[in-house]
Structures are given as structure tokens and as C-alpha cells.
Structure 1
């Protein structure tokens, strides 16, 4: 009889060629706390940026953020007493428009002829 070579590859060769699912790096879960809010407060406090704090009920408070902690922020106002505002009543915070005074409202908006 004639010796014939086996056509079937050995099991060890097949294992080397197969992708390893267990060794693939898994995607990391994003961190729960990014500290973006803290960095924003620090930046605005350092620059003493005039800010508008809009509360849940729609009231707008104008002033400069003096300090903050986990639960509240302190807003320094020129036209009234300083306020300590709890964060759970804040809807959002934004920079005050540079072209408008704090109490100025453009009443002629839309009346252009």
C-alpha cells in the first residue's frame, strides 16, 4: 500500500487561526462623574463672568458666581443681596449677553418697518 498524507489539519493549527473572543479588549463604561460642571464653575468664577441663573419657576437671577459646593451656588449681585441657590431649583445657567444691560429688555423687537 501507498502511504498517503492526511488532508485534514491538526486541531492545534485550527485553534491558532481562530479569533480569541475572551482576549479582545472590552469597551470601558463611561465614568459616572466627569467633573465638567465643577470645571465650568471654576472657569466662570476665575473670570468673574456675569451669569444668568434660570430657576425652575422661570425666575432669572443675574450675578457672578462667587462659590459653589455639591448642593448649592452663591451668586454675588450688584443690584441686590447675594443669594445662596440650591442646585435642585436651577433649571439652567448661561452667560449674560454682553450687548444688554442686566435689566434692559428690547421692547422694539419685531417692530421694524
Structure 2
């Protein structure tokens, strides 16, 4: 007694289509870096804006950003040594308004 055995093989085209449909359904993650931080540092570097850096322990240091990296930046200070500041230790940054600007604001309310 002879039996005809038929080889059952999946259609490869169907498998590829299924993979493509599943890949299209996956949600694409947003980019990790928005480049807003880079733009901000470049803007402050070009203008040599005086910045105040407030550390997580409450210490405040003033100077201007000379260069920056992904993890740190160099703060150039007048009359004091320059600092390499790690971004993980920063609570926040803000611009220091010049005394001239403050005087003009007081005169022109």
C-alpha cells in the first residue's frame, strides 16, 4: 500500500506580508534628542551671555559658557578659575541681567 505524502510548505509571500503589516502597526518612538538644548547653548555661547548655574546642593556660580558636551560644559568665570560643570549636578540655569538693563527698566516703567 503506497500513500502519497504531500509536503506542506507555507507560502513565503504570505509570511512576508504578515511581517510588513505587523511592522507598520508598531508605534514609532519619538527621537531621544530634540536639539533644543544644543540650540540654547550655542545661542548663549555666541552672545557670551552671563549665566548663573544653580547646583542641586544650592550653590550658585556665575560665568559664561565657553563650550559644551553631551554630559558637561565649561563655565568661564572672571576673577575665578574656570569650571567643568557636569549637567547631572545642575538644578537649573538662568541668564544674569546686566545692571544697565535693570537701571533702564526702573527708569522706564
The interval holding the TM-score normalised by the smaller chain is 0.5 to 0.7
Between Structure 1 and Structure 2, the one with more helix by share is 2
Q: Which runs of 4+ in 1 moved over 3 A?
A: 27-30
3-state SS in 1 of match to 2:43: helix
Question: 1:63 and 2:51 equivalent?
Answer: no
Q: TM-score, normalization: structure 1?
A: 0.60
The question of 1:42 aligning with 2:42 is answered yes
Unaligned runs of 5+ in 2: 1-26, 101-109
Trace 1:5-84 onto structure 2 (pairs within 5 A): 30-84=30-84
RMSD over equivalenced CA pairs, Å: 2.1
User: Offset at 1:60?
Assistant: 0.6
* Residue 29 of structure 1, CA deviation: 5.2
CA distance in 2, matches of 1:70, 1:30: 19
Aligned partners of 2:58 and 2:75: how far apart in 1?
Answer: 17
Q: How many residues align?
A: 76
Q: What is the CA-CA distance between 1:63 and the residue it aligns to? A: 0.2
Tell me, what secondary structure is at the counterpart of 1:88?
helix
Does 2:99 correspond to 1:99? yes
Matched residue SS, 1:97: coil
